[in-house]
Structure 1
Amino acid sequence: MRALKEELRRRRHLSVAELGKWLRSVVQGYFNYHAVPGNLASLRSFRLQVIRRWMRALRRRSQKSRMTWARLGALAERWLPKPSILHPYPNLRFDATHRR
């Protein structure tokens, strides 16, 4: 999370769309690796932490228009994927039947 925080600080000046695309790739990559059965709660927690960090970065951009949680919720729905289990249990993955 520390590296994500630093990178958000560096990319704070980008447009919301560019930042959303980058965050989507970060979150999707994390989910692709960690989406195993029994890990859904931690995936949700990771997504929530990313949303909180994104909110903090967007609020520091300007004093003109404040970013609200309602607006950020809509952005998160658009840009950040929702967690889902991508990898089955190992015994199901290798449970193949062969005719011999």
Structure 2
Amino acid sequence: MGFACEDDARRVLAILPKRFAKYGLTIHPDKTRLVSFERPSRPPRRPTEKCRESPGAFDLLGFTHFWSYSLKGSPVVKRRTSRSRFSRGLRSLKEWFRKHRHLDIAAQHQTLCQNLTGHFAYYGITGNSVALSRFRQAAVRLWRRSLSRQRRDGAIAWNQFNQFLERHPLPPSVAIHSVCRPVASS
């Protein structure tokens, strides 16, 4: 919940556990806290500079929300993939490759494409393209490592693997949900 006045936020934070207890619920202490998320006070030296004082970055729904500056120099709230969700996604992908190394390449390719498409569908928002590209590159490295373990003559060279990727292309890391594009009405 967001509040303009700190007093209102403190009042709700005091009442919330009692309200939850009425229904037999409890509040998780790590997920329920006060965060000062004020607009930065000083103008940036460069338009793309991030806020140095970082007034209260927080994680919510798999994204880290933080203050930064737009290209025109005005402060804006930006979002990027949370570190914990990024590493958890790569960990699960690595585990999947370890368990399914015996599958043929077509099945591995299909599952990897589905995994990447799902990741891009959720985390593909405006301003998160760097994290999407990093996730795709890490997935490519994991797949190469997995395929290299099947070979007797060592790791696949990168030029060979890049030719392999031309025959088995992976989905591009693209921001699917854009604040600039209008939503298609159905």
* TM-score, scaled relative to structure 1: 0.81
Could you say which residue in structure 1 is the equivalent of 2:117?
A: 28
Query: Quick one: distance in 2 between partners of 1:66 and 1:2?
Result: 21
* Matched residue, 2:131: 42
RMSD: 2.3
- Provide structure 1 residue ranges, at least 5 long, that are not aligned to the other structure: 94-100
Taking only the aligned residue pairs, the percentage that are identical comes to: 30
TM-score calculated relative to the size of structure 2: 0.46
Q: Which has the higher strand share?
A: 2
Deviation string, structure 1 residues 43-100 (Cα, Å, up to 9, x no partner): 000000000111111111120475221232233343311111111218955xxxxxxx
CA shift in 2, pair 1:66/1:56, >3 Å = closer
The answer to whether the 8 Å contact 2:144/2:161 transfers is yes
Does the residue aligned with 1:79 lie in a helix, a strand or coil? coil
Q: What is residue 97 of structure 1 aligned with on the other side?
A: none
Deviation larger for 53-62 or 74-83: 74-83
Structure 1 CA distance for aligned equivalents of residues 112 and 143 of structure 2: 9
Structure 1 letter corresponding to 2:130: A
**CA displacement at 1:18 relative to structure 2:** 1.2
Q: Could you tell me which residue of structure 1 aligns to residue 87 of structure 2?
A: none
Alignment of 1:4 onto 2:4: no
Alignment-mate amino acid for residue 171 of structure 2: P
Inter-CA distance 91–27: structure 2 relative to 1 (3 Å threshold): closer
2:86 aligns with none
Q: Is the 8 A contact 1:24 1:81 kept in 2?
A: yes
| Counterpart position of 1:84 | 174
Does the aligned pair in 2 maintain the 1:21–1:79 contact within 8 Å?
no
Larger radius of gyration: 2
Q: More helix by proportion, 1 or 2?
A: 1
Contact 2:149 2:155 (8 Å CA) reproduced? no
**Higher alpha-carbon deviation: 24-33 or 12-21:** 12-21
Distance 1:12 1:37, change over 3 A: same
Which amino acid in 2 is paired with 1:79? P
State the distance in 1 between where 2:135 and 2:117 align: 11
Number of residue pairs matched? 95
